[in-house]
Chains A and B, each alone.
Chain A
């Protein structure tokens, strides 16, 4: 029970948060929605990169596949959102499975380059397919209706995302503790030994790609119907890099770390922006034109500094803070 306490407290906070925030905090709920969608996708990427050791820095491409699949199915095939959401995951999963085969021949930096190429190519290809994606103009996926309920507002949508996150995080935890998850880690740590234990590299690398892409596809669908406006170029390298940063910062090979990292990365720019504005208002730099210019973009500088500090002092990710805190408390308890 004590062991599960932090998880329960976390869940309770997540459940009541949108309710206690007043209407002036609407932007925060939207930001939270985006953060939790990124958490879903980060969990998927972490299964691939953190556990199975296969780098992908073009993961936004799978998100795009999910987003446009979901849009196409709801718009043209008359399939309701609750059908389009898993379908988006499955279609992205199939694409991920297919990408897994060429990826088998590559590892490390070379795999990074190949997935980067994939991440660049997919938005371009989608851009050409204007009848589905709208090209540069983009398209407008409708807000979902589920069982007669509208999810046009951010608050109900928040609970929808939360349920999906809870399900997919639970599935990821199960995988990690199972035969499949252990095989992923074995492939990551020693390919020769993994093979000698009966683990087919082909099978588990392609499975990791497919599973990871499934999570990204689900995230893409949720994102499309939340933002209600998407174009192929929204899913570029910026998002791929953000996902990669999230898992490194939150904690590689950690499901919790993926969630923590996603929330951290979504709120950090907002936080540094506030700090930056406050500094400018205080008039602290009125004397110096130079300093004024420097602090005009101080939010980005500060974000960068914080990222560097985290990787320097928490190389195991933000989740390591929790472990460190626990050992500290335990040490105090002994005294």
Chain B
């Protein structure tokens, strides 16, 4: 069953068509890859799902509800969490507090109880439960020892994991990973692949992944959608996609151009 269903999504920036009548169906519980050469429109799709961009045409349904009616801050309540291409951790907050923000939508208290803070038993209980949950996710991702550190002082690979943890701690049904392997070495990328699989199995989430690292995509994804110039040119299992002539042309064509340049 599809948890996310895009139909005929078109996004334009002025005269430029960034995404052209895209149909995309992500099955519940799968690890789904969205790949394509630079400028294919993958990140634009993510930004539509995050509701930063509005498509001019098309529909997007998530878990049976119209996703396009949601505002950016309502997405996480629907069950979609994400990471960013360039790590977007809150540098003024510790790792632990970053994961507390990840659970922002789970809290049930507002400004006035905040003024009294820990004096209120209700606030105390909620904070304690959230801290414990955050710690559990940090442990799962193997970064619990950095809980009190500030993100900017951590190695890039660790920062990526913390951002991962922050998305995971909200308990999402779908997690959007925007180039999680960018800036990682081969060993780190391999570990990342393992991590994505374990995460899906343990937390029962669906994963939609934009990635340039082909070995990672081919090894971890169960289903792949390929885009070029804003259009979908192929989809299927990793083996099917790898042998698709249109895909080979898209990637080889790019390499040829690169060789001439």
Contact B93 A197 (CB under 8 A): no
Q: Beyond A195-B73, A196-B50, A196-B81, is A178–B123 a contact (Cβ under 8 Å)? A: yes
Contact B170 A182 (CB under 8 A): no
Contact A185 B92 (CB under 8 A): yes
A319: min CB distance to chain B, Å? 15
Residues of B in contact (CB 8 Å), total: 39
Contact B90 A174 (CB under 8 A): no
Stretch at the interface among B101-109, B180-188, B252-260: B101-109
Q: Beyond A175-B114, A179-B114, A207-B111, is A193–B119 a contact (Cβ under 8 Å)? A: no
A192 vs B43: C-alpha distance when bound (angstroms):
14
Contact A182 B88 (CB under 8 A): no
A80 vs B194: C-alpha distance when bound (angstroms):
68
Contact B74 A185 (CB under 8 A): no
Digitize B22-66: 1 where CB-to-A-CB distance is under 8 Å, 0 elsewhere: 000000000000000000000000000010100000000000000
B33: min CB distance to chain A, Å? 21
Closest-by-CB residue of A relative to B107 is A179
CB < 8 Å: which of A173, A174, A197, A201 contacts B102? A197
Q: Beyond A174-B118, A179-B114, A182-B93, is A192–B104 a contact (Cβ under 8 Å)? A: no
A189 at the interface (CB under 8 A from B): yes
Q: Beyond A178-B123, A185-B90, A197-B76, is A192–B52 a contact (Cβ under 8 Å)? A: yes
Given contacts A179-B114, A197-B105, 13 further A-B contacts (CB under 8 A): A174-B114, A179-B100, A179-B110, A182-B104, A186-B90, A190-B90, A194-B90, A194-B101, A196-B76, A197-B102, A199-B101, A200-B73, A211-B111
Which residues in A have some Cβ–Cβ distance to B below 8 Å?
A: 171, 173-175, 177-183, 185-186, 188-190, 192-201, 207, 211, 253
* Interchain residue pairs with CB less than 8 A apart (15): A179-B109, A180-B110, A180-B114, A185-B90, A186-B101, A188-B92, A189-B93, A192-B52, A196-B75, A196-B82, A198-B74, A198-B75, A198-B77, A200-B71, A211-B111
Which residues in B have some Cβ–Cβ distance to A below 8 Å?
A: 50, 52, 71-77, 81-82, 84, 88-93, 97, 100-102, 104-105, 107, 109-111, 113-119, 123, 127, 166, 170
